[in-house]
Structure 1
Amino acid sequence: MSRRGENIYKRKDQRWEGRYIKSRRENGKIQYGYVYGYTYKDTKEKLLLKKYEYGNIQKSSANHYYSGNVATWSQFCLEKWKPSIKVSTYNTYQYKLAKYVFPHLGNQLLEEVKSTHIKGLVEYWENLKLSSRTIHLLFQLVRRLFKYAIEKEMISHNPCLDVSLPKQEVKKITPLSLLEQRRLEAVAKREKNGETIILALHMGLRIGEISALKWENIDFDKKILHVKETYQRLNNSEVNTTLALGSAKTHSSNRVIPLTDQMLVLLRNLKKSNRSSFVFQVKGKPMEPRLVTYYFHKIRAKAGLNHIHFHQLRHTFATRLLESKVTISSISELLGHRSTQMTLDVYAGTVLDEKYSSLKVMEQAI
């Protein structure tokens, strides 16, 4: 059975067959080429390369640009980039393109895409009520596709150059107050898997980093914890997801965090009853983020905190550090941010409050 729009079929001999346009005869009749594989995925990859090759032939023989559409070019780009990007990034790109780009622009010939088409795409995203941040991220992906086409001389112009995007909204970080944090920790200490909450509050770990945490990443003698991996649920399609253990979110996310005496005691107590490779596990496998979130919501409800989410714990950690006069560069390293500027952008309001307090102290001293 063919998958819609791909010209890939399952043969009676159980192989997959992919069909592509190879050339046109003088009378205009199409001559097809074929590729074969024992899996759908293998056949699709072969077919993408043949479609790209055909595009190049058309370009050189007929003196014009890539003849395929946006969807075909995008899929080719993903296969080219696949060896150099994370599996999670590859899956995210696939999902975003299929859900937010192809329905509006996928069938448009690559060379015929104008800035008006890209502006229309942005309007389409706005009509979907996507956040400004999501729109900027989607546009970055689309711009990368067209930039690559320019580099490979597949198109004559870049339609993404003259496009205005909605202004990004800066979300105000709302950390827990000290009183709220103490209430939450008090409940977490006596509830099942409450340790995940305490680690987030005292070490600023992301939920995926907590799920992926292994005992081998903890050096009890040197009193340090290595953040190396993340465990996350990846979108394969609009309805299907898979769990994947992969490297940390970014290069800077791969970091070392010192362990306080309180965290050492907590982790040693956990290790006494845990023979798995993972600090938080279910039947020897990492406890997935959904389950961590489930326990979090049970605990925060018992603490009477009905309007908080797990990621606020990380912001609370950073805020407590700022209140303790820890430098921005140290906070940036502990959080695994790409730069101190990113930390300043995220915590601008809190930093401003601290500066104001410092000036008041100075004036009182004078």
Structure 2
Amino acid sequence: MNDMIPHAFHYRKKSTGWQVILSYKADGKWKQKSKQGFSQKSLAKAAGEKLLKKIAENYVPTPADPLMQNITLKQFWAIYQIDKKKQLSDGSIDVYENAISAFSDLCNIPLPDLTRAYIQTCVNESKLSASTVELYMSKFKVMIRHAITFYELLRKSPMDGIIYPEINEEEIQTISTKEFNCLYAYLHENQYMLSVMAAVGYYAGLRYGEIAGLTWASIDLDKKELKVIRQFKRFRTAEKTYEYKLGKLKTSNSKRTIPMPITLQRILTEYKEAKFPVAPDGRIFYWRIVKLSATF
């Protein structure tokens, strides 16, 4: 977003140290912000970049802004993020950014120059799976609709009428009882905690994040019930890294109470009696997580 804001830096050496003055254009007017008292010019430059970054975080150009006339889909993504800040989950942001990365040529073309024919060619020539192509294109379609509805950047969406490859819907193969028993026996012998997690998934039907987010407070061994109320998930940090912690479920309908078969009750009872370490946040399946860098 920084490169979309008309701006200029000026530096002055004063008796109290170096001063940086940031001039930038917003709402059709030139404005200024400054900081001073730096012992070196390099420190003043770094402070100026921080000022610009802070302004850019909430900067949304007006439809009449000349910069908007030839904005690309990649550039518009920064604006869309600000407009939809409260609606976009970290997982959704990852999908959008993966889509932009996968179709970088398409996303670097000015919106007025995007044509249905070019988009169709990108779809036809993509090496991605049919379902992934359709998913990514659906994100572009939403962004372009936003550009039309809220900013009047286009009269008609070039996404209309795009034909997608046929998705081959293969029948899902579930694990058999014999296969699970073999898996459980191996894990129980070699990775005890993983064997318990596998049992929760098999007998209660929980997703991985829901299993990893279980606490003893959400498990009633006497009533033989599991309460799914949170999940262990990935969050973005301000430093462009990822961290894992407990968070909300994907939807409110995901909250549920699941009856526990007696086999799972026995497995969880034995696990509790084994007194495995509990995470600081109460999770019963605890292991160290290394922060990952965001790649976009």
TM-score w.r.t. length of structure 1: 0.59
Matches of 2:207 and 2:34, distance apart in 1: 43
Matches of 2:133 and 2:248, distance apart in 1: 26
Correspondence list, 1:1-366, <5 A: 43-44=52-53, 46-47=55-56, 49-50=58-59, 52-53=61-62, 55-58=63-66, 66-97=69-100, 99-101=101-103, 103-124=104-125, 126=126, 129-152=127-150, 153-191=152-190, 192-193=192-193, 194-233=195-234, 241-272=242-273, 273-274=275-276, 276=278, 277-282=282-287
More helix by share: 1
Matches of 1:10 and 1:230, distance apart in 2: 45
SS of 1:231's partner is strand
User: Given the superposition, is the C-alpha separation of residues 35 and 43 from structure 1 closer, same or farther in structure 2, using an over 3 Å criterion?
Assistant: same
- How far did 1:174 drift? 1.9
- How far did 1:76 drift? 0.7
Q: Would the aligned equivalents of 1:19 and 1:47 in 2 still touch at CA under 8 Å?
A: no
Deviations 1:28-60 (A, max 9, x none): xxx97777897978844633654522x33459x
Deviations 1:213-235 (A, max 9, x none): 22222233433212223324468
Matches of 1:95 and 1:41, distance apart in 2: 27
Matches of 2:21 and 2:121, distance apart in 1: 37
User: Given the superposition, is the C-alpha separation of residues 66 and 109 from structure 1 closer, same or farther in structure 2, using an over 3 Å criterion?
Assistant: same
Q: Would the aligned equivalents of 1:91 and 1:235 in 2 still touch at CA under 8 Å?
A: no
Matches of 2:114 and 2:163, distance apart in 1: 16
Matches of 2:283 and 2:73, distance apart in 1: 43
Larger RCO, structures 1/2 (Cα 8 Å, 6+ apart): 1
Matches of 1:15 and 1:263, distance apart in 2: 64
More strand by share: 2
Long gaps (5+) in structure 2: 12-17, 36-46, 291-296
Number of equivalences: 265
Give the residue type in structure 2 aligned to 1:46. Answer: I
- How far did 1:178 drift? 3.0
Long gaps (5+) in structure 1: 24-30, 60-64, 289-366
Deviations 1:55-104 (A, max 9, x none): 33459xxxxx844222221211112112123233234323432x123x21
Matches of 2:260 and 2:118, distance apart in 1: 53
SS of 2:253's partner is coil
